[in-house]
A and B are shown apart, each in its own frame.
Chain A
Amino acid sequence: MIPPLVIAAGNRDRGDDGAGPAVADLLRATPLEAELIEPRVLPPDLHASWSAEREVIVVDAVRSGAAPGTVHRLDARAAPLPTELANLSSHGLGLAHAVELARALDALPARLIVYGIEAGPCELGAPLTSPVRAAVAQVADAIRGELER
């Protein structure tokens, strides 16, 4: 049986954009029944990293206009990702784009849960803000829960 795949994306050196890697750090602290990858920027062909039968969880910082630290949990197989989950990176096409491109190409995995952590400032070199730090702990717990199902 292929273990689930957890994709924790973001840039540690850019304030709250480091939410994904911070979740990865917490998940790595204790044994994890999943493969964990940590891309700095999501590639346009994110779907190349999974096979059709895989269970995949993606966590990334997002900006939808909600308060920083807000956690969005989205079942990508149930509905398209809202386009207002705007891209934070100036170099990648973004979370919603990568997931929706996978959908358009019939390349969604068997299960795809997306955690979006609403980001505050993403200044170069800044640490995570405290609401996002709290959200990171909450999401790491939630992902453990998802994996134990």
Chain B
Amino acid sequence: MSDEAPKSKSIHVKALARVEGEGALHVRVRGDRVEQVQLEIYEPPRFFEALLQGRSWLEAPDITARICGICPVAYQMSAVHALERIAGVSVEGPLRALRRLLYCGEWIESHALHAFMLHAPDFFGCADAVHMAQTEREWVERGLRIRRAGNAILELVGGRAVHPVNVRVGGFYRTPSRAELAALVPQLTLALQEAQESVDWLARLDFPQVERDWELVALVHPDEYPMNEGRLASTAGLDIAVDAFEAHLIEEQVEHSTALHARLAERGPYLTGPLARFALNAERLGAPAQDAARRAGLVGPTRNPFKSILVRMVEVVQALDDALALIDGYTPPPQPHVEVTPRAGIGRAATEAPRGTLLHRYEVDAAGLIRRARIMPPTSQNQPSIEADVARVVEEYLDDLEADALTQRCEQAVRNHDPCISCATHFLRLHVERTP
């Protein structure tokens, strides 16, 4: 502990509650200055990139789905798109639509869990959703219903809600009938209405008035709010094909975390996730989501991290609106997947996980065996920005809040970014020697 000077003060939040995975936050303050903020990740590193080496390319979507229990579809989608690029295959028509529908299910489920169960209680001064249910019961019930609507999509299109099993390179193992999809419409229609009402409910919260000047990075697609495709763009002018990502996004090891930290080659830390997607793609939201955003006062890029909860709920409206349109326009494809044959090559893809941009790169040999895999999850990209954000929050509230309240505010600042910490733990090839 850092008690070497009388004015020095440390805040250690040892087990960070209500964040996916496990992490710890260390903040060191001297006087009114924040000397150090470290978001420490102590879940054991997961050796997924090494695990993929020597495995068949067809196994990648099922293996990488296991990286996260909340956003497995994101891993599956980044994997199949990268591998199909190697095979020279493009999946179009109803199969493309089903993939977007599946992704909508994940956004709905993940965002609803985060917004209602993990994040909203912070704004009501409640320890958790159980406490919040005492005063906001109907909203807790709505949140759970919205989440179930997302799960219903995952169960039907993905085969099951946790770690879906129906995704393969080239498409799916089985595609649903029109009648099966139509059976979801009443549940999704109610969820859409409740999500729109939830945006209005959340917009009435008391948001700390802060702005951050970070560079926001997300996929941008000319015709749709981005999920599976697009160019990688930023609010500071980055505009590259995903194939070029390694020249621009640099990952580095840091001592206090098993997650790599990312930065933009020329400029430094950046942020991916809902705020970035909204800043770069708001005009491609559908009418219900645009209306909801306008009612919530979200006009133009939002740089207040506390308002990420509003953007997440606007994205739930978008995902439900999209899902209903995709179901309405669906005609079952003649085959559940297009034929794919392996060939040697390198393929990259980025998709928009609920938490932010998820990049995959695979090198496959002519027999279809994976020689190398690289996975850049959103939390490792966001971690430097999250740490800087927490440092600002501590500075802003240091004199105003008691120790417990400040600790709570720090946790909230981390939860603003919905970090999937177990996703962000990363295999290290090199051991870095630590010096005190």
Enumerate chain A interface residues (CB-CB to B < 8 A). 40-41, 44-45, 48, 90-91, 93, 97, 100-101, 104-105, 124
Q: Do B69 and A45 have beta carbons less than 8 Å apart?
A: no
Our pick among B128, B133, B144, B422 for the contact of A91 (Cβ within 8 Å) is: B422
List, in ascending order, chain B residues with CB within 8 A of A40's CB: 69, 162
Given A45-B144, A90-B422, A93-B117, A105 contacting B137 (CB threshold 8 A)? yes
Interface size on B, residues (CB 8 A): 24
Residue of B with least CB distance to A93:
B117
Q: Do A90 and B128 have beta carbons less than 8 Å apart?
A: no
Q: Does B159 contact A (CB under 8 A)?
A: no
- Minimum Cβ distance to chain A for residue B39 (Å): 15
Our pick among B20, B113, B137, B422 for the contact of A104 (Cβ within 8 Å) is: B137
Q: Do A101 and B21 have beta carbons less than 8 Å apart?
A: no
Q: Do A45 and B148 have beta carbons less than 8 Å apart?
A: yes
Give 11 CB contacts A-B under 8 Å.
Answer: A44-B113, A44-B129, A91-B69, A91-B422, A93-B117, A93-B128, A93-B129, A97-B128, A101-B140, A104-B137, A124-B44
Our pick among B117, B162, B422 for the contact of A44 (Cβ within 8 Å) is: B117
Q: Does B147 contact A (CB under 8 A)?
A: yes
List, in ascending order, chain A residues with CB within 8 A of B197's CB: none
- Total cross-chain contacts (CB, 8 A): 47
Given A41-B162, A104-B134, A105-B140, A91 contacting B20 (CB threshold 8 A)? yes
List, in ascending order, chain A residues with CB within 8 A of B22's CB: 90
CA distance A89 to B18 in the complex (A): 11
Q: Do B117 and A104 have beta carbons less than 8 Å apart?
A: no
- Minimum Cβ distance to chain A for residue B153 (Å): 16
CA distance A44 to B145 in the complex (A): 11
CA distance A101 to B131 in the complex (A): 8
Residue of A with least CB distance to B43:
A90
Q: Does B293 contact A (CB under 8 A)?
A: no
CA distance A104 to B128 in the complex (A): 12
Q: Does B141 contact A (CB under 8 A)?
A: yes
Report B112-137 residues with CB < 8 Å from chain A CB: 113, 117, 128-130, 133-134, 137
Q: Do A101 and B422 have beta carbons less than 8 Å apart?
A: no
CA distance A104 to B117 in the complex (A): 14
CA distance A116 to B18 in the complex (A): 22
Report B304-332 residues with CB < 8 Å from chain A CB: none
Q: Do B130 and A97 have beta carbons less than 8 Å apart?
A: yes
- Minimum Cβ distance to chain A for residue B105 (Å): 15
Q: Does B70 contact A (CB under 8 A)?
A: yes
Residue of A with least CB distance to B18:
A93
Report B3-53 residues with CB < 8 Å from chain A CB: 18, 20-22, 43-44
List, in ascending order, chain A residues with CB within 8 A of B422's CB: 90-91
Per-residue A-contact encoding for B54-71, CB less than 8 Å = 1, 0 else:
000000000000000110
Given A48-B144, A124-B44, A101 contacting B130 (CB threshold 8 A)? yes
Q: Do B129 and A48 have beta carbons less than 8 Å apart?
A: no
List, in ascending order, chain A residues with CB within 8 A of B113's CB: 44
Q: Do B133 and A101 have beta carbons less than 8 Å apart?
A: yes
Q: Do A100 and B20 have beta carbons less than 8 Å apart?
A: no
Report B58-90 residues with CB < 8 Å from chain A CB: 69-70
List, in ascending order, chain B residues with CB within 8 A of A41's CB: 69, 162
CA distance A48 to B144 in the complex (A): 9
CA distance A97 to B22 in the complex (A): 18
Given A48-B148, A90-B422, A104 contacting B133 (CB threshold 8 A)? yes
List, in ascending order, chain B residues with CB within 8 A of A90's CB: 20-22, 43, 421-422
Report B373-395 residues with CB < 8 Å from chain A CB: none
CA distance A44 to B162 in the complex (A): 14
CA distance A104 to B133 in the complex (A): 6
List, in ascending order, chain B residues with CB within 8 A of A97's CB: 128-130
